[in-house]
Structure 1
Amino acid sequence: MTEPVWGPVHQDIVGLLADHPADVPAVVDHLTKLQDLLVRLPPLEESCPLADFNKLYLVITSTVLDGLYDDRFTDPAFLARLDVEFAARYFDALRFWTDSHPSTPKAWSCLFQRMRGPDARPLPSAAAGVNAHINYDLPFALVTTFDSLDSEPVDGSDQHRDYLEINKIFAERIPELRRGYLDHWQLMIDMVNGDIDDWYQGELVEYTRNVAWRNAQKIWRCRHDPDARECERMRLDDNAALLGRLLLSPLGAFLQ
């Protein structure tokens, strides 16, 4: 008999994924409950590679929610809808993987496959998840969001400025998040490097999110052409999967 994908927490995760978060507080709640389950997943348990990403995603999403409460954004309806659509793609990937469905994106599969070992270092694991979520999920989440709001991805718009505001949230949270993945000896090296590591990782996130915006604009222009849209989906999935495998390779351990 084949062991369930999620081992002893399989039914709990299936039950969690059966619900679809409809707003940002619900997304935060789902990510929190998922984190509690992932850290119990054997054989890696506390060092589960997916938990390393989910923890980062939870922190960033919680900060976005705080920003919505604090009127940080010009168009909160756009940001809230984008957050929900963005999370939906992550949860969809988890559902596909749970069902061993062939539609599981390759960008995510390379990380999901590591949950049973061999172990991957925490920072590369988190980076692989960010890669899949931004390089593959985000462009399509943007297109779905704009379509639902009868708007479009225009440079310099209120929505674009709010989108760029998320880069600032990453910049604010990256230092503490990154150091949370480091061992004691790595923290010593980090102290020697000063703010350099924080700076370049912040720049990398900003660049990656800018590319995702451009890809969303490209998909937007062909959104009514199923063949062209599928071609873009496959291109983004292949590229993100290639980068994900690199991040999770021995070479990616240099990130740690």
Structure 2
Amino acid sequence: MTEPVWGPVHRDIVDLLADHPADVPAVVDHLTKLQDMLVRLPPLLDSCPLADFNKLYLTITTTVLDGLYDDRFVDPVFLSRLDVEFAARYFDALRLWTDSSPGTPKAWSCLFERMRGPDARPLPSAAAGVNAHINFDLPFALVTTFAHLESEPVDGSDQHRDYLEINNIFAEKIPGLRRGFLERWQLLIDMLNGDIDDWYQGELVEYTRDVAWRNAQKIWRCRHDPTAHECERARLDDTASALGRLLLSPLGAFLQ
């Protein structure tokens, strides 16, 4: 008999994924419960590569929720809807993997495949998840969000400014998150480097999210053309998958 995808926590994860979060507090709740399950997933347990990404995602989403409570965003309706649509794509990928579906995006499969080893270092694992979520999921989440709100992705709009505000959240959280993935000797090197690594990774996130916005605009223009839309989906999936496998390769260890 084939062992369940999620081993001893399979039923718990299946039950969690059966519910679709309808708002940002529910997304945070889902990510929190999922994190507790992932760190119990054998054989890697606390070093589960997906848990490394999920922890980072939970931290950023919790900060977004705090920002919604604190009136940080100009258009909270847009930001809330985007957060829900964005998370839905992550949870959908997990559902497909749970069902052993060949439809699981390749961008995510390369990380999911590592959950039973060989082990991957924490920072490359988290980076591979960020890559899949931003380079593949985010453009489509933007398109479904704008379609739902009967708006469109326009540069300089209130929605675009709120989108860019998320870059500031990453900039606030990246230093602590990144150092949490480092070993003692790596922390010493990090200290010697000063703020260079934090600056570089902040710039990388900003650039990557700008590319995602541009890709969303491209998909928006062809959203009523199934063939063109599928070409964009395949293109982004292939690109993110290639980068994800590079991040999880031995070369990815240089990230730390």
The CA deviation at 1:194 is: 0.4
Q: Could you say which residue in structure 2 is the equivalent of 1:104? A: 104
The CA deviation at 1:119 is: 0.3
The CA deviation at 1:204 is: 0.2
Q: Could you say which residue in structure 1 is the equivalent of 2:163? A: 163
Q: Percent identity?
A: 87
Q: Could you say which residue in structure 2 is the equivalent of 1:210? A: 210
Query: Per-residue displacement from partner, 1:81-126 (whole Å, max 9, x unpaired)?
Result: 0000000000000000000011100000000000010000000000
Q: Could you say which residue in structure 2 is the equivalent of 1:71? A: 71
Q: Which amino acid aligns with 1:232?
A: E
Q: Which amino acid aligns with 1:50?
A: L
Q: TM-score, normalised by structure 1?
A: 1.00
Q: Which amino acid aligns with 1:148?
A: H
Q: Could you say which residue in structure 1 is the equivalent of 2:200? A: 200
The separation in 1 between residues aligned to 2:132 and 2:19, in whole angstroms, is: 22
The CA deviation at 1:206 is: 0.2
The CA deviation at 1:222 is: 0.1
Q: Which amino acid aligns with 2:49?
A: P
Trace 1:46-85 onto structure 2 (pairs within 5 A): 46-85=46-85
Q: Could you say which residue in structure 2 is the equivalent of 1:235? A: 235
Q: Which amino acid aligns with 1:233?
A: R
1:8 aligns with 2:8: yes
The separation in 1 between residues aligned to 2:239 and 2:249, in whole angstroms, is: 16
Q: Could you say which residue in structure 2 is the equivalent of 1:186? A: 186
Q: Which amino acid aligns with 2:220?
A: W
Structure 2: state its 5+ residue gaps. none
Secondary structure of 2:4's aligned partner:
coil
Secondary structure of 1:242's aligned partner:
helix
The separation in 2 between residues aligned to 1:43 and 1:194, in whole angstroms, is: 36
The separation in 2 between residues aligned to 1:161 and 1:59, in whole angstroms, is: 21
Secondary structure of 1:120's aligned partner:
coil
The separation in 1 between residues aligned to 2:148 and 2:117, in whole angstroms, is: 40
The CA deviation at 1:163 is: 0.1
The separation in 2 between residues aligned to 1:11 and 1:206, in whole angstroms, is: 37
For these two proteins, the number of residue pairs brought into alignment is: 256
The separation in 2 between residues aligned to 1:102 and 1:82, in whole angstroms, is: 27
Trace 1:241-256 onto structure 2 (pairs within 5 A): 241-256=241-256
Q: Could you say which residue in structure 1 is the equivalent of 2:223? A: 223
Q: TM-score, normalised by structure 2?
A: 1.00
1:30 aligns with 2:58: no
The separation in 2 between residues aligned to 1:253 and 1:141, in whole angstroms, is: 30
